[in-house]
Structure 1
Amino acid sequence: MRQLSLRLRSILLAIGLLALFAPFTVIILDDAYTESLTQAKMSELRLMNLGLLSAFELDGDLPYMPEILYEEQLNLPGSGYLGIIVFRDEVIWQSASALEYTFTPPDIDVAVGNELFIDNHNPKFASESPFFVYAFTAEFASSRDFEPVRFYIFNDKVLFEQERDTFLTTTWQWIFTLCFVLLVFIVVGISLVLSPVRKLIDEISLTSSGKKPKLDERYPVEFDSLKRSINDLLHTEAKQRTRYKNSLGDLAHSLKTPLAVASGHKSLPAEVKESLSQIDRIIQRQLKRASAGKTGWQNAIRIEPVLHKLADAMDKVYQDKALTIEFDVDEKAQFKGDETDLMELFGNILDNACKAANTQITVYAQINDNWLTVKFDDDGPGIPDDKKSVLLERGMRLDTYTEGHGIGMALVADLVSIYEGRMKIEDSHLGGASITLSFPYHEVEN
């Protein structure tokens, strides 16, 4: 399963956090605003109730209230504010704003000198929305004694809820806007933070393709150790490959002269000369195999020019056979490895095909499912089934090859194995042999 990129992970994490931040923020703001609004409402109703208390007079058993009150809301019908006064369990006065209501004494009992605020009450005269209620009880001198008089202020919560809904709507709009702006800043910030990573990846790609010898750009201090490690790896690999090739060259040079001297001795029997010649071929083959191989820091090679170059050479070598070599090659097909190894691979197979072919050879190259596949077909006699299995089995290990099959195909099998490829031998639709080479393919941008 493909892993998500760091950029996408960071953005998804930011979206998740903002998705949690937005509703929690709105809930907290809503609670704070509702609490503040409720406290303000309590103070407002307390002042109204205090206005009733200061305006009320009791003459014996007769109550007195002015027709026009200082609090305008209690004078206007439909204002949503209602005031009543209860004396001896009877409603003795109600505000002008409550003319359309018929009141019974509320079942809210408050001790003398105490107040009570209720923020969600359904009085008997209201059947729909709840009301705020502020109640206060005071004592007044009557014809009998000091008796309690209860003052009530009712306020319809419709306006309160409308105000709260407006606040919530506005808050959600601003929170969404803020979240969007934050997300934009987060995306930009992530891009800025990851820009050194992208820069490092690009430079590693250039180094991997052989266009730069080492990493030399400046990066944040967190990448210093990684940069040093990669450069050390490149330096060590280059030194090892150079040392290895030099050692192999020295070995080849050291063996070449003694073998040449021994082979040129006139008194040697023919079988000894043949054995020395075979030893020379084995040494050359082993040196070829040891020096071949892929490294992670090479250019990707387009295979089409290589195939055409080899075909031109084969036309000259096998000019007397007048062979036709046709190509069906994907122009984008590339081989990531050593060009000499690629020439050895294709050259040996194409050479064998030219030897076996009567008139025609066809070369196919395509990319399928992250594999580079190159197939060589000829119209020669073909390869017997028992030989196919032998070649494939022995192609897995060089040590089991016999020289009778030729150093060329042995080297092909070795190189295919070194480059983690696969080789398949089948019958060609042209009537001869079909040899297919497949290598893991990763597209490289030049």
Structure 2
Amino acid sequence: MPNLSLRLRSLLIAILALGIFIPVTVLTLSKAYTSSLLQAKYNELKLMNLAMISVFEFEDGESLMPQMLYDEQLNLPDSGYVGAISVNNQLVWQSASSVYTVFDSLMTTPAIGDEVFVPQYALDDSGSEYFAYAFTAEFDNGDQYIPVSFYVFNDRRDFLHERDAFLRSVWQYLGALGAGLLVVLIIGMNTLLKPVRLLIGEIQQASGGNQTQLTEDYPPEFTPLKQSINQLLAGEAEQRERYKNSLGDLAHSLKTPLAVALGTAALPDSAKEPLQQIDTLIKRQLKRASAGASAWSQGEPVMPVVQQLIAALNKVYRDKNLTLSASGDEGLFFGDKTDLMEILGNLMDNACKAARSEVVVSVRQLSRQTELHIDDDGPGIPAE
């Protein structure tokens, strides 16, 4: 992630973490909840089985069961519960709730005193699956003890609906929790990155020459960085000042000899012009150096220079009846104002010479540079 911002990186990491955490949590809760439901279902069917055992008896060799049981779920056809009793692997009784149930076969009969609990059992060929619980007990039949197996079956559909409803709720709650955590994370990241934004803003202000030191209050972790940047700014300003003073001293050192040379009466005209050019060049270079070539220097507004040149060119080209205008931003030029006036003056003068009636100067300030357009309605340069 070399080109991603810290905020986006943190957001992606949080989304990845939640993408792993939420499904794992749902899976864990699903297993725990399913295990709890299975245990509850086992206890429920066991109690119903014991209730059947408590009312069963033999009389004259015949098995007897009441028509209606205490547990109403074994009496209602649509309850989803079915009870059955077998003796010697032969079905001898089934509950009133099994009126729509056809027993293809009963599950394996457990040994006497043993129980069997099967979470998924196909009771018939309808495709429905049941919870099944079976227990085998011995009953006195007069002259012998006979093993009797008791079965309770429960349709799994209600169980599955309950589990699915629970999982939907878990997904919804965890999804809402995840969304809330992302919102909190975004707010937290904005808060954490606020000092970074302030620092960037101050550096940009210092780069534009609008301030000389970082003055905002930053967290302790940023204090060494702030101090280092302020030392850098102070050192750069001090170096520029020393450079300016040195150039000033140089100017004074050269001024007197040049003045003496230029004031010499016997100086040939052929030598005066080069000396004057040297004098002008030295003054210009000293002025440029004193303004500073550093990236931290104060920018020179462009639009006032343009307006000043327009006023001067209107006088120069008064007889041509030109319309000179300027539009756009104020703009900044990081350099010597004399250089700016010389560059713009030459370009605008050329435009006035080529124009028929109008010259338009447009200034546009971009993030790190100033864009200038000088347009005229002249014939232009012919294509070769």
Q: TM-score range by the shorter chain?
A: 0.7 to 0.9
Gapped runs of 5+ residues in structure 1? 379-427, 434-446
Check the 8 A contact 2:55/2:65 in 1, yes or no. yes
Q: Tell me the equivalent position of 1:49.
A: 49
Judge conservation of contact 2:302–2:332 (CA < 8 Å) in 1: yes
TM alignment of 1:19-418, pairs within 5 A: 19-59=19-59, 61-124=61-124, 127-142=126-141, 145-288=144-287, 290-291=289-290, 294-298=293-297, 301-315=300-314, 318=316, 322=319, 326-327=323-324, 329-332=326-329, 334-338=331-335, 340=337, 343-346=340-343, 348-349=345-346, 353=350, 362-367=359-364, 372-376=370-374
Question: Does the 8 Å contact 2:139/2:146 carry over to 1?
Answer: yes
Deviation, structure 1 residue 359: 8.3
Counterparts in 2 of 1:341 and 1:115: CA distance versus 1, 3 Å:
farther
User: More displaced, 297-306 or 28-37?
Assistant: 297-306
**Which residue number in structure 2 is paired with residue 408 of structure 1?**
none
Q: How far, CA to CA, are the matches of 2:358 and 2:336 in structure 1?
A: 23
1:326·1:361 contact (CA, 8 Å) conserved in 2?
yes
Distance 1:22 1:228 in 2: 44
Between the aligned partners of 1:171 and 1:24, the Cα distance in structure 2 is 12
Alpha-carbon shift at residue 96 of structure 1 (Å): 2.0
- TM-aligned CA deviation for residue 310 of structure 1: 2.4
Counterpart Cα distance in 2 of 1:172 and 1:431 = 71
AA matched with 2:264: H
| Equivalent residue letter for 1:6 | L
Cα distance in 2 between the residues matched to 1:215 and 1:369: 24
Structure 2 counterpart of 1:30, which letter? S
Q: Secondary structure at the match of 1:169?
A: helix
* Preserved CA contact (<8 Å) 2:78 2:97: yes
TM-score using structure 1 length: 0.73
Deviation of 1:292 (Å): 5.7
- Whether the 8 Å CA contact 1:315–1:323 is kept in 2: the answer is no
Identical counterparts, % of pairs: 44
Distance apart, 1:246 and its partner CA: 1.4
Q: Which amino acid aligns with 1:86?
A: S
Q: CA 1:270–1:206 in 2, change beyond 3 Å: closer, same or farther? A: closer
* Count of paired positions: 381
Q: Indicate conservation of the 8 Å contact 1:363/1:374, yes or no.
A: no
TM superposition shift of 1:71: 2.3
> Tell me, what secondary structure is at the counterpart of 1:207?
helix
Report the residue type matching 1:21 in the other structure: F
Following superposition, the deviation at residue 334 of structure 1 comes to 1.2
Structure 2 Cα separation of the partners of residues 341 and 92 of structure 1: 117
> After alignment, is 7-16 or 43-52 more displaced?
7-16
- Gapped regions of structure 2 (runs ≥ 5): none
- How big is the shift at 1:227? 1.0
Q: Which amino acid aligns with 2:106?
A: P
- Match in the other structure for 1:412: none
Cα separation, 2, equivalents of 1:252 and 1:55? 124
Cα distance in 2 between the residues matched to 1:339 and 1:276: 23
Conserved? CA contact 2:323–2:358, under 8 Å: yes
Contact kept in structure 1, 2:306 and 2:326, CA below 8 Å: no
